[in-house]
Structures are given as structure tokens and as C-alpha cells.
Amino acid sequence: MLPDRSPLSSLSPRQAALPAATSPPSRFGKSPRAKRLRGIENANPSQTTRHAAGAPLVFPPPVRPYGRTTRRRRRLRSPASHRLLPGWTKDEIELEVSSYRRRQVTVPVRPCAMDGSAVEELIRRLLDGKKHKVTGKKVLLTEAEIRSLCVAAKEIFLSQPNLLELEAPINVCGDIHGQFSDLLRLFEYGGLPPAANYLFLGDYVDRGKQSIETICLLLAYKIRYPDNFFLLRGNHECASINRIYGFYDECKRRFSVRLWKLFTDCFNCLPVAAVIDDKILCMHGGLSPDLDSLNRIREIQRPVDVPDQGLLCDLLWSDPDRDSSGWGDNDRGVSFTFGADKVTEFLNKHDLDLICRAHQASNSLFFLQISATILSSISS
């Protein structure tokens, strides 16, 4: 019978002369799992396994420390992970990577080419959305297409005046608020551009379930027919408002927060008022104590966010009050109310016949006559 021999006795004299390797300090914490991992790391093969004489030593495989990220994940968090995207500068890549949040990798999305055929194809897809209005299915849109719409529409808005000068005949429509099916019904009733001209008075997003489809179809028509289709700004085309009332959440859920910010940049360039045939003044809200001349509207610089007070705020927020005269406090907590006397005074001063506005729900589907000289419109 062979005598018991330790594993070291099978080593050659040269191997035995080598200095003993010291184990590195433990890389684990103090949790129960860490204790088990530490035991595996510091295990002595001569004590934990039976070793036959002359057999090679077999050590347990190295254990990856708990919580250590793999090389692939580290590369995804690095700007170098986007080097396969040609045409991107280092600053663009770093800007996109800086938006990394909660271990989610954000891949840069560049706007696609938005020529006439591409816009028409997008409009066709959106108009086909009426087939899904019963099931509530969303229209398939890519983030690149939406980004292209925002960029192209922003340039058109800035190329046109802040106070639009339009001619009849034209269809004037009020609040849509994400009701995409109602928008499609409006086009069925009034006709499709360019056969029919349109002026929308704002509030395209929030509250409804399909704000993205709604604003995308409106922007697409604006790009395709810039001289037949016009969009004014409403109080919900403001980051501080649509951040709360649903549009931000829809963009974040379906695409990204970056897309919501791009919409915000586009909204900041929208015109705020229009005059039809030099006789009808259109805006989303109403009159302002600071509106002593229509040139004051033309002088508003864009892009601009909606302030808490002042002319731009009043044009988007003020309301008429049939039961009072002069200027009064608004129950909304923003801007003013104005009486019939202020309307008559303003119309006589500027040689106008009507004020057409939105911002409030009406009893009928499209229009409600508030007074002899104010017409409020709402579409949804």
C-alpha cells in the first residue's frame, strides 16, 4: 500500500523551489453571498477535494466579482460605442451619450430627408389612421420622421410673420387636444388641403390619447402646403403646460424625452395671431391691455417661451366675460378677462369686424356666438 502523500510531494524539485503565491485580499463584501464566494476563492484543494497521488492539480474556475459590469456594457456606455455611425462629430456623440439615464443606452437618431414625396407618404399613413379609430391603434411613426417634421416646420414658421395676413375662404378650427379621430372628421367635413384652406387656433396636444399623431399630421400639412395651411399657438403649446397635461408622458412612453424637447423648440416658433381679409382677428385666447397696436404682435421675437404675464401670455390665455365690463381677474389664475366694452373699443380702433378665438368649450360642435362681435370656435 502506498503511503499517504500531500499534493506538494508530487511536484518536481524545480517547482518546489518556487516561492509560494500569496492570495490577494478578498474582493467581496460581508453579505452571506460574499462569504460563500470568499470561501470558494480561498479554498485549499488539499482540504476540500480528494487528490490522488500523481494527478494534476485542479483549481475551481475564477469567480467574477459580484456587481462587476461586463466589457460589453462598459462599451455601450462609452461614446466609442457609436463609432459605427458615420457622419457624427465627437460633440454630437457626447451630447447623445450624456442623455444616458438609468442604465438605458440612447442611440442617436438623425432626421431623415423630408422631401415632398416623403411628406405625402407620411400624410397618407396618418390619414389611414381613421381605420384604427375604433380599435385605438397607434399610427406607425419613426422618431427620425418626427424629428424631420419638427425641424422642417420650425424653419417654415420662422419664415412667416408672427401676425399672419390671410384671405378668405378659409376654414377656422379650434382646440383639438390630441383627439386624432376628431381631426380626421374635420378634414372629412371641410375637405383636404390644398382644395380647402385651414387656420387652426392652437391647443393641438394634451388630454387626448393621440397627441403625437395629431400634431404630426398638422405639421406634415404645413410643410406640404405652407401657403394654404396655417397653425397658431395655443396655451398648451408650452413646455410648462404640456409637461403636466399628458403630452410629455406620451412622448416619453412612445419615444423619448428628447423628442418632447424638440417639439417644444418647434412650438416656440409658432405664430400667435392672424388677420383674415383685414377684418377678422384670430388668436387662441383673447385681447390684452398691452395690445394697443397690431404691430405689437409683429414685434414679438421668436423662438420664445410663454411668459407668466404680458402681451404673449394674454393672447394665449385671456377670456371674454359677458357679465362684466373692462378688465377683470381670470378664474384660471393667469391673464385677464375682458368685457364687451373692451371688444367694441378695440374693433373700432383697428377697423375690424370680428374676433375669432378658441380656448373655451362651446355648446355646439364648432362655433358659439358669445356676443355680437366675438366668435369662439372649438373643434373637439
Cα 146 to Cα 263: distance, rounded to the nearest angstrom: 9
Neighbours of 375 (CB within 10 A): 18
Closest CA to 62 of 91, 34, 33, 37: 37
DSSP H or E segment with residue 274: strand 273-276
Please name the residue that has the C-alpha cell 396618418.
126
What are the phi and psi torsion angles at 128 (to 5°)?
A: -70, -10
Give the torsion through C-alpha atoms of 168, 170, 175, 176, to 10 deg.
-170
- Per annotation, catalytic residue among 236, 284, 350, 359: 236
Cα 236 to Cα 214: distance, rounded to the nearest angstrom: 14
Burial zone of 61 (CB within 10 Å; 0-12 exposed, 13-18 middle, 19+ buried): exposed
What are the phi and psi torsion angles at 332 (to 5°)?
A: -70, -15
* 359 catalytic per annotation: no
Active site residue ranges: 236
